[in-house]
């Protein structure tokens, strides 16, 4: 699959406009472990560090790895310990007691990623695999109609693995501790909504094909200016917490 979030400006937009909801999912994981301390923790596809920061409450040794210089530059400015590495090179970073991945596993080759994670896992290691997804407005059917019938028509999602199709639970060396899904309420102004949409791979794909980001933003602004977006949007989450039973 193509690698996204690498073009100039992607890290800055991601840091500015992506909702900061990662801590809520990490807290859900903590509830299952009642204060367990993890010796070594790695955040795979750490991006700008939004998913890395909550992990600092679980261990004094947390590193983030990502293959995008654009994203890593922001994470480094935030004072995080990060390294440039692809998920397949994870075993080269050593062994870990907790491997966390947010909004990235669907971009990976599933079998290759699982093998890599196993090779980087200490016995009894925990895996936290989770995703977020923009699920429309809580009350504005006008916006939801636009999202379904206009936005996704003009900016379709690039090919990826569906989270539900990644059957980690079927692996004999993995035991599911917990899984859940739901959504968080978030609010956007018109400009922050356009900013958020500009961080999606849907729009990045259009930019790669030659459409200027400034033109896309102007078109979105015109289309959305007549739609009432007052109130909350749904930011959906889904996660699995697994224990590695191998050695």
- Residue 165: per-residue pLDDT: 60
Q: What is the pLDDT of residue 34?
A: 80
**Residue 109 placed within a domain:** yes
Q: Which domain holds residue 88?
A: 10-136+159-185+236-244
Q: What is the CATH number of the domain that holds 34?
A: 3.40.50.150
211: in domain: no
Residue 181 within a domain: yes
40 in Cβ contact with 59 (< 8 Å): yes
Does residue 88 sit within a domain?
yes
Total domains in the fold of the chain? 1
How far apart are the C-alpha atoms of 61 and 70, rounded to whole Å?
A: 23
Count of beta carbons in the 10 Å neighbourhood of residue 187:
12
Residue 200 in domain: no
Which pLDDT belongs to residue 1? 47
Specify if 71 maps to a domain.
Answer: yes
Q: In this structure, is residue 149 part of a structural domain?
A: no
Rounded Cα–Cα distance for residues 217 and 35 (Å): 45
Other beta carbons less than 10 A from residue 164's beta carbon:
10
Q: Is 34 a member of any domain? A: yes
Sign for the CA dihedral angle at 138, 101, 22, 188 comes to negative
pLDDT of residue 177: 93
Does an H or E element contain 43, and which? Answer: strand 41-44
Predicted local distance difference test score (pLDDT) of residue 170 = 86
Q: What is the pTM of this model?
A: 0.92
Pair 101, 50: CB distance under 8 Å: no
pLDDT of amino acid 32: 86
Question: In whole angstroms, how far apart are CA 142 and each of 76, 196, 208, 227, 238?
Answer: 41, 19, 29, 7, 26
Q: Which residue positions in the chain have pLDDT lower than 70? A: 1-6, 8, 161-166
Specify burial of residue 83 (Cβ count, 10 A radius: 0-12, 13-18, 19+).
middle
Integer Cα distance of 213 and 46 in angstroms? 24
């Amino acid at each position: 699959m193509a690698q996204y979030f690498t073009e100039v400006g992607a890290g800055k937009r991601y840091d500015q406009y992506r909702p900061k909801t990662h801590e809520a999912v990490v807290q859900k994981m903590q509830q299952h472990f009642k204060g367990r301390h993890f010796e070594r923790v790695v955040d795979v596809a750490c991006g700008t560090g939004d998913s890395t920061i909550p992990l600092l409450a679980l261990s004094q040794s947390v590193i983030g790895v990502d293959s995008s210089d654009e994203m890593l530059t922001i994470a480094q400015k935030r004072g995080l310990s990060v390294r440039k590495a692809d998920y397949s090179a994870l075993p080269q970073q050593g062994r870990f007691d907790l491997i966390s991945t947010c909004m990235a596993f669907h971009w990976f080759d599933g079998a290759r990623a699982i093998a890599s994670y196993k090779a980087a896992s200490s016995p009894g290691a925990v895996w936290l695999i989770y995703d977020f997804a923009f699920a429309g407005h809580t009350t504005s059917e006008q916006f939801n109609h636009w999202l379904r019938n206009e936005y996704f028509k003009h900016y379709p999602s690039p090919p990826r693995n569906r989270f539900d199709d990644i059957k980690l639970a079927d692996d004999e060396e993995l035991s599911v501790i917990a899984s859940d899904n739901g959504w968080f309420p978030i609010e956007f102004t018109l400009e922050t909504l356009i900013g958020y949409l500009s961080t999606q791979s849907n729009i990045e794909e259009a930019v790669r094909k030659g459409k200027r980001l400034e033109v896309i933003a102007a078109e979105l602004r015109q289309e959305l200016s007549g739609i009432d977006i007052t109130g909350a949007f749904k930011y959906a989450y889904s996660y699995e917490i697994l224990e590695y039973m191998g050695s």
